[in-house]
Amino acid sequence: VSPQFATILYKALLAAMIGRSGLILQRQGLLRPQLQSLKTCVNQFAGQYLVLCLVLLFAPIQPMPTIMGAIAIYAVVDIAVAQKGAAIAMLPILDRLAGARLDSVRQNRDGLLVHAAVCEIAAAFIALFTGSFIVGSLLLQFFLRFRYRSDSYSKYAWGYLAQMLGKVFYHPSCPAVIAGLFDKIKNGMHAMATR
């Protein structure tokens, strides 16, 4: 796949997610230019992804497969859990082709949503180190402030990441300076998320 085609596909998927998030917020009555509606909107999953996809659509960073993975996981879980009846009504063959898979997705919902949260975290760090540092920093703060506060799966994913990195940085052969730096970064990120 050529890089130009990948970029076009990436932007098209972001635009589709913007449209989907906007429709969800409009159905909930939150897409109004009133301050209270906007505050409530940002605390909703659809509002967070609306803002995220708008930023990524216009940001000067390369396509990030990890954020596309998160969006795809959320879409599949949404179809399997909340929209299965409507999807099968539109495409009756879907039940025969993917009915068992959708049931499996519904049964593994929590694990898949944790994987989506891990993809989000990976995207934030990838943007921080490979794309524009400023955009990556803003993306990381966005996820720390909004996703961590409002999503239990994001909290779990961040905790899991801290636990796994702790095994490396608290290992006896790791220098105390590195472990101290890890503690400062971890505590700073937690403070930023809970402010």
Could you report the per-residue pLDDT of 100-132, keeping only the tens digit for each? 888 888 899 899 989 888 888 887 777 777 766
pLDDT per residue over 87-104, tens digit each?
777 778 878 888 888 888
Say how far apart CA 124 and CA 143 lie, in whole Å.
8
Instruction: Name the H helices within the chain.
Output: 3-27, 35-42, 45-58, 65-81, 84-90, 93-107, 109-130, 133-142, 148-150, 152-169, 176-194
pLDDT per residue over 37-79, tens digit each?
666 666 677 777 777 777 777 776 676 777 778 888 887 887 7
pTM of this prediction? Answer: 0.72
Q: Would the pLDDT of 177 be above 90?
A: yes
Calculate ∠ Cα 151-184-122, nearest 5°.
45
In this structure, which amino acid lies at residue 3?
A: P
In this predicted structure, what is the pLDDT of residue 191? 80
Six-digit token pair at 149?
Answer: 């506060």
